[in-house]
């Protein structure tokens, strides 16, 4: 027998409730992106998850990589990824966070708060750029 409360369902066995199954509600756009990510062939990546061939990057591949890694990219994060790519194309280098925050006219703390980690590593990884020199 299956029971549920709208957030999760569980199967009842003689020995108690086991096999809890979380339910996730996605809007149509998220479902489309998830289907594309599941069907996309992601190019080879190195041990840190960066593309071996940066020229293989497309926005779809960047999103598929994040999906495969279980990393959520909202629109604000995606805007920052695209701004970092713009910077990289203009200056042929990955900016340190201080320069990047200034480049996008954001407070450095707000950028950190958005990414909840050092932002340049996921920005460059999912943006198909080289690993920042300051990241280990």
Residue 55 is encoded by which pair of tokens?
Answer: 């020229």
pLDDT at 21 over 50: no
Tokens of 11: 């199967």
Is the Cβ–Cβ distance between 120 and 129 less than 8 Å?
no
Percent of the chain with pLDDT strictly greater than 70: 69
Backbone angles phi, psi at 40, to 5 degrees: -85, 140
Residue pLDDT, tens place only, 92-102:
999 999 999 99
* 118 pLDDT above the threshold of 50: yes
- What is the length of the chain? 136
Would you state the pLDDT for residue 40? 73
Domain definitions of the chain by residue range: 40-126
Angle at 96 between CA 94 and CA 102, to 5 degrees: 105
Mean pLDDT of the region 52-56: 95
More confident residue, 77 or 29: 77
pLDDT of 133 reads: 80
pLDDT computed for residue 117 by the predictor? 86
């Amino acid at each position: 027998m299956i029971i549920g409360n709208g957030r999760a369902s569980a199967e009842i066995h003689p020995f108690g409730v086991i096999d809890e199954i979380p339910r996730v509600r996605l809007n149509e756009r998220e479902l489309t992106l998830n289907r594309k990510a599941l069907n996309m062939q992601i190019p080879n990546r190195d041990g840190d998850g960066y593309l071996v061939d940066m020229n293989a990057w497309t926005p779809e591949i960047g999103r598929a990589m994040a999906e495969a890694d279980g990393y959520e990219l909202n629109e604000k994060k995606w805007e920052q990824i695209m701004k970092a790519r713009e910077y990289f194309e203009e200056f042929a280098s990955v900016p340190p966070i201080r320069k990047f925050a200034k480049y996008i006219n954001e407070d450095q703390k707000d950028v950190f708060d958005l990414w909840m980690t050092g932002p340049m590593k996921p920005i460059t990884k999912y943006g198909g750029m080289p690993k920042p020199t300051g990241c280990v």
